[in-house]
Amino acid sequence: RRMFLDHLNQIIRFSHHNNQSFALFFMDLDNFKYINDSLGHEAGDDLLIQIAGRLKSIFRSSDMVTRLGGDEFTVIIENTKESDQFEVTQLAQKLLDQLANFPIVIGGRSFTVNTSIGIAKFPENGLDSDTLLRHADTAMYAAKKSGKSQYALFSEEMNNDLREHIEMENALKEAIRAKDRLS
C-alpha cells in the first residue's frame, strides 16, 4: 500500500511536470465474501493470487497493479490521452470480459469472477492522491450500484449524489433520535 501511494505521488508529480494524463482504476471483486465464507480463506487467498496474475497479464508492464487490501485492487495506467475516454473505457471493458469469460479454477472447481471498476483521471478528476483515490472509489461504488460487473468514470454528479445520500441518512438518524427523546 505504501509503495502504491509513493508511486501514485511520483506519477502525479511527473504527469503534472510533463503535462500528461493518467488513469486510476479502483476495483472491488463482486461477491468475493461468498468464496471466502463457503470455501475458506485459503481458497480466497488462492483466488486473489490468480486475479492479481490475470490483472498483470491484461495491463502493460509499465502500469502498476496493486492489491490495496481485502478484495480491492488498483491500477495506475500511465500516459493516457487526457481528452480520449475511449482508451480507458476500452481497457476497463477488456478487463471485465477477461474475468467473465475465463473462469478461475480453485480446488478443481471453476469460478467466474466479476469486478466493479471505478475510474478517475488525472488531472480532470483530481490533482492529489487522496482526491484521485476518493473519486475512483466513489466511481467504483457507482458501478456496483448500477448492477456490478460494470465500470464507471468519475463525474462530479457522483459526489453530489453521495452528499445527498449522506445528508438524507443523517437526517433520518436525527429524526429517529428525536423520536426516541420524545418517547
Q: Which residues are catalytic?
A: 71
- Considering only CA atoms, which of 74, 69, 58 is closest in space to residue 135? 74
- Cβ 63 vs Cβ 76: under 8 Å: yes
The letter for the amino acid at 47 is L
C-alpha cell at 170: 443523517
- Cβ 29 vs Cβ 51: under 8 Å: yes
C-alpha cell at 87: 482508451
